[in-house]
Amino acid sequence: MNLHTLQIILLSFLLLFYGCKKNNPVSVVDESKGKIFVTANVSGAEIFLDNISTGKFTPDTITAFATGYVVKVRKESFFSEKKRVIFDRYKTKTVKFELQKNQLHKNVLLEYFPRNDTGNCINGNELISELKDDFKDSLFLLNYTSLNLPPSNPFYFTLHQSIGYRMKNYNVLNTPIIIIDGNKIQDFNNIEILKDKIKKGLHETTYFKLTVSDSILTANGFKVTARLTVYDTDKLDFNSLVLHMVVFEKIPACTIDNGGTCGNVVRAMLPSEYGRDLSAISKKGLYNYYEYKLLNPDWKKLNLFVVAFVQNKLTNKIWQVAKSEQNFWF
């Protein structure tokens, strides 16, 4: 074997040896990420990054690429809170949230579609009067007594189109019927079923406060003001919400055949039966809404009041109700 051949064999051996040798893995630090330690005044609040759940809860640390994000924390019975946060490379920031307890009181709306014959006007109002005694200022009534039953109903022609729309919206085919917070109650003669539905409605969570006032501006003008104070937009799709402002008249005696008590008879729906669109609401704060109605000379001005409510136009769920006077029953 000559020297040249030996060199070739040795070189081949070295190549084979080092080619088979495994390199130890190199630990690479991702220098493009930063960390945020998220804490809050309440523990166990879920942490979101750009509206996507991180699967973590306060207090905890989240990691993300070094740029800006919206960090949000949310917990049941509290108003959610969010902040714009910049993640810095190599650093761990601390961001603290102060969640406010949701102590808003939810009211309940009862919509009554009576059949104004065979004594139902009387029976329905006796039933509603009993509910009023139990729930007082947390339960509000709207009486849609403008149905054309019987044809001699003197209220029919004033609002039949709007009330017809409400009936279609609830798929009401037969009367009498009661709607509680947008839910039909077929067996409304069962007082315990009604009370149970109302109690559940009063315990539901709402995220805004609603107040309403009215005033007579001129001899024939009626102005309505509704104020919506939004505390949390996180769990509400305002694109689906509408504000209804309903003018009603307290009528102490029903003039429809049977002479029963009617009370809270709906006179006008403002701005129409379709309500006021709330899709422009995108953040927390105070929102004011105004409507004007030319009064019918047959209406008694001093007996006119307003019920306002916010309703989901897709599901019919009612989120909050308010009235323009504290003691407006019968």
Residue 79 sits in the same domain as residue 112: no
Residue 129 sits in the same domain as residue 272: yes
Residue 162 sits in the same domain as residue 218: yes
Residue 57 sits in the same domain as residue 202: no
Residue 90 sits in the same domain as residue 112: no
pTM as predicted: 0.79
- Among residues of the chain, what percentage have pLDDT more than 90? 49
Does 175 map to a domain?
Answer: yes
CA atoms within 13 A on the CB side of 263: 21
Report the alpha-carbon distance of residue 74 to residue 151 in Å, rounded.
54
pLDDT at 256: 47
Specify the higher pLDDT residue, 153 or 242.
242
Specify the higher pLDDT residue, 1 or 46.
46
Does 21 map to a domain?
Answer: no
pLDDT tens string 91-144:
899 999 999 999 999 999 999 887 655 444 445 667 777 888 888 889 998 888
Q: Indicate left, alpha or beta for 80 from its phi (over 0: left) and psi (-120 to 50: alpha).
A: beta
Specify the higher pLDDT residue, 6 or 62.
62
CATH code at position 49: 2.60.40.1120
Residue 138 sits in the same domain as residue 79: no
Contact 73, 58 (CB under 8 A): yes
CATH code at position 201: 2.60.40.10
Domain count, the chain: 2
H-type alpha helices, the chain: 3-20, 120-135, 156-170, 191-202
pLDDT tens string 134-172:
888 899 988 887 554 545 555 555 677 788 888 889 998
pLDDT at 116: 55
CA atoms within 13 A on the CB side of 252: 3
Report the alpha-carbon distance of residue 152 to residue 111 in Å, rounded.
22
Does 3 map to a domain?
Answer: no
Contact 73, 98 (CB under 8 A): no
How far does the chain reach from its first CA to its final CA, in angstroms? 122
| Segments forming the whole domain that contains residue 129 | 108-323
CA atoms within 13 A on the CB side of 179: 25
Specify the higher pLDDT residue, 35 or 250.
35
Residue 195: which residues within 8 A CB-CB, separation 6 or more? 131, 134
- Of 97, 128, 143, the residue at which a domain comes to its end is 97
pLDDT tens string 61-73:
999 998 999 999 9
Residue 68: which residues within 8 A CB-CB, separation 6 or more? 84, 85, 86, 87
CA-based nearest residue to 77, from 47, 55, 99, 56: 99
Tokens coding 235: 């769990």
Residue 140 sits in the same domain as residue 68: no
